Chains A and B, each alone.
Chain A
Amino acid sequence: MFKIKNRRHFYEQSFAFASRLSLIICAGVLLFLLGSIFIQGISALSLEFLFTPSSSFGKSGGIFYQLFGSLLMVLVAALLVLPLALGTALFRNSYNKNSAIAHIMDQSLYALNAIPSVTYGIFGLIFFVNLLNTGISWFVGSIILAIMMLPTVTLSTYQAMAAIPKIYHENAAALGLTRTEIVRRVTLPQSFHGVVTGLLIGLSRAIGETAPIMFIATAFSGVSVPQSLVEPVSTLPTHILELAQQSTDPQALQNAWGASLTLVLLAATFSGLALFLRSRLNSEGHQ
């Protein structure tokens, strides 16, 4: 009996120790990641860095056109995905009564979510750049990023629609509204926050993507503001990739850290806005 109690006690102590140790490791990794990005990045970052074009293959100068290219590409992607995601979510929520179709839609969205980012790049290269013969084009990059954002935005919108209390629909129907009127006057306004949070989360992921756009939408140097849809742009992630490959050059590395911090701050801004919106609208909803 005594022995068993001892063993139990020993296990208990080791269990507590291991879980505390894991927490400390996680916290350490976290501090190291955020610390290195911020400390290395802050010394490179300045207004001048943000607003001057890069020169001598990114080693000197700033990241103005990269910043511009990244923002252009993700914002256009958001505009492209918005109507599609909204329509898909509305169909799933308001029009579809067939559970088999709902199942197929869900699985398709999960599948889209599961496709590795590099595969999107290969698909874009085959389908748009070669079969449709667009050449390297920032707009194709936007289309591909829009497809990548589709599951996130659709699921977020759909969840917001499904969370609308049933009584709203019943009241609207009792007032004699048709289904389309219910969609326009109840479902859409009540789930608008889901669309916006979904878009923001999608934006924060899309802006950091490298693999999907590096074959199809970007060029490393000699790029400024595109004059047409079928020109390449330069983006922050592909810029960091090029600089990281010259990591033995301290100047290149310095600029890579600056671009990384900019990218992380942009992504954090988008997801922070999404979190803020979600918590604010949630608390309003409970009143």
Chain B
Amino acid sequence: MSATSALKAKALLKAKPASKRRDATKAYCQGSAVLSIVIVSVILLTLLIQSLPVLMSGDNGLIGTQWNPDEGQFGIIAPLFGSVFVMIIATVIAFPIGLLTAIYISETRSSKLRRLIKSILELLAGIPSIVYGLIGVAYLNIWVADLFDLQSGRIILTAGILLGIMILPTFLTLTEDALSAVPQRYRENAKSLGMYRHEVFKDIIFPQAKVGIAGAGLLALGRALGETMAVMLVIGSLDRLPSPLFNPLSSGQTITSKLGREVGESAFGSVHFSALVFMSFILVSITIALTILSHYFLTRKPSDV
């Protein structure tokens, strides 16, 4: 108690001579912090303001399936559906494989092996998305075309598989963290009661780790929705809803692939451009919501469950 007051007294005594320099450092830090927050706000505001022209122009078929800039039709339903569809395929591929592999790794006793696997996963997550795109173009789309006897493998399914491979490392490593965070003694106790491994997982580990796994899943979903280059190269860029609706073997379009293809071609200030910015605004809103939600899950302690 007296130590802190002595500290305060000393700080006060010292404060005057150094006050000028302290102000400079403090002002620099405050300035940086303000600038960081301003940047985020400016990005979101810019997107919102540039979305206004299409929102204010009547009869643009925004909530429709027709995309035809020459006729003033800017329906966002087809790419929105495409984004969700591709994301679902990626999830169906990545989540079960990721979860089961994470279980296997977290039950391994060797911490050396765990660290090696983690490093490899980090390396995989660091492969640029354009390189995944190249692999998709050079191999995957040809394999898919051969497998289903199609003329072109640039279809929704190919994009989904590629995306599933891309989000696997992120999901796997975060899920493994969540599983490893469950104290070892829970496993030991459960096993000594004669429970099988699947029962230990189902009844002991999963209830403890499910919040962390949910966080990992949401973060991976956000990544999947925002991924551009790889998807753009293999999805075929067709501005129509697939028919029948859930046909993964038809070409499609996601919001990101549409943006990647068309932003460079549309004139700044046109309604066409504004429609694209509006799409990107929707995308950002979804991914930010997913990420903030996932941080909420990932930072909660297991004991809160």
CB < 8 Å neighbour of B37 from A19, A104, A181: A104
B170 within 8 A of A: no
- Provide the bound-state CA to CA distance between A165 and B295, in Å: 26
Assess whether B260 is in contact with A118, with CB atoms less than 8 Å apart. Answer: yes
Assess whether A205 is in contact with B126, with CB atoms less than 8 Å apart. Answer: yes
Query: Residue-by-residue, is B99-116 near A (CB-CB < 8 Å gives 1, otherwise 0)?
Result: 111011100000000000
Residues of A contacting B138 in the complex (Cβ-Cβ under 8 angstroms): 36, 40, 244, 247, 253, 257
Contacting B at CB under 8 A, from A102-123, are 104-105, 107-123
User: Of B84-92, B203-211, B225-233, B242-250, which stretch is located at the interface?
Assistant: B225-233
- Provide the bound-state CA to CA distance between A209 and B226, in Å: 13
B56 within 8 A of A: no
Assess whether B39 is in contact with A147, with CB atoms less than 8 Å apart. Answer: yes
User: Of B58-66, B68-76, B127-135, which stretch is located at the interface?
Assistant: B127-135
Assess whether B263 is in contact with A15, with CB atoms less than 8 Å apart. Answer: no
Residues of B contacting A92 in the complex (Cβ-Cβ under 8 angstroms): 33
Assess whether B33 is in contact with A18, with CB atoms less than 8 Å apart. Answer: no
Assess whether A30 is in contact with B120, with CB atoms less than 8 Å apart. Answer: yes
A52 within 8 A of B: no
Assess whether A215 is in contact with B228, with CB atoms less than 8 Å apart. Answer: no
Residues of B contacting A107 in the complex (Cβ-Cβ under 8 angstroms): 292
Assess whether A127 is in contact with B42, with CB atoms less than 8 Å apart. Answer: yes
Residues of B contacting A115 in the complex (Cβ-Cβ under 8 angstroms): 43, 226, 284, 287-288
User: Of A61-69, A170-178, A224-232, which stretch is located at the interface?
Assistant: A170-178
Residues of B contacting A45 in the complex (Cβ-Cβ under 8 angstroms): none
- Provide the bound-state CA to CA distance between A105 and B43, in Å: 15
Which chain B residue shows the least CB distance to A263?
A: B128
Residues of B contacting A244 in the complex (Cβ-Cβ under 8 angstroms): 130, 133-134, 137-138, 233
Assess whether B33 is in contact with A88, with CB atoms less than 8 Å apart. Answer: yes
CB < 8 Å neighbour of B226 from A37, A118, A150: A118
CB < 8 Å neighbour of B18 from A30, A180, A237, A241: A180
Residues of B contacting A121 in the complex (Cβ-Cβ under 8 angstroms): 263
Which of A85, A174, A178, A241 has the most C-beta atoms of chain B within 10 angstroms of its own C-beta? A178
Residues of B contacting A26 in the complex (Cβ-Cβ under 8 angstroms): 97, 101, 168, 172
CB < 8 Å neighbour of B295 from A14, A110, A184, A215: A110
A169 to chain B, nearest CB (A): 10
Which chain B residue shows the least CB distance to A151?
A: B36
- Provide the bound-state CA to CA distance between A275 and B122, in Å: 10
A57 within 8 A of B: no
Contacting B at CB under 8 A, from A58-117, are 83-88, 90-92, 94-96, 101, 104-105, 107-117
- With A19-B103, A87-B29 as contacts: A116 and B225 at CB distance below 8 Å: yes
Assess whether B128 is in contact with A91, with CB atoms less than 8 Å apart. Answer: no
Which chain B residue shows the least CB distance to A101?
A: B33
- Provide the bound-state CA to CA distance between A57 and B31, in Å: 45
Which chain A residue shows the least CB distance to B225?
A: A116
Residues of A contacting B10 in the complex (Cβ-Cβ under 8 angstroms): 173-174, 176
Assess whether B288 is in contact with A210, with CB atoms less than 8 Å apart. Answer: no
Which chain B residue shows the least CB distance to A86?
A: B32
- Provide the bound-state CA to CA distance between A82 and B135, in Å: 34
- With A90-B29, A112-B39 as contacts: A237 and B137 at CB distance below 8 Å: no
- With A36-B135, A110-B295 as contacts: A180 and B26 at CB distance below 8 Å: yes
3 tightest CB-CB pairs across the interface, nearest first? A208-B128, A87-B32, A116-B226
Some 19 contacts from A to B, beta carbons below 8 A apart, are: A36-B139, A40-B138, A88-B29, A108-B36, A113-B291, A115-B287, A117-B228, A119-B283, A119-B284, A120-B43, A122-B277, A126-B268, A130-B269, A150-B39, A180-B22, A208-B126, A237-B229, A244-B133, A271-B126
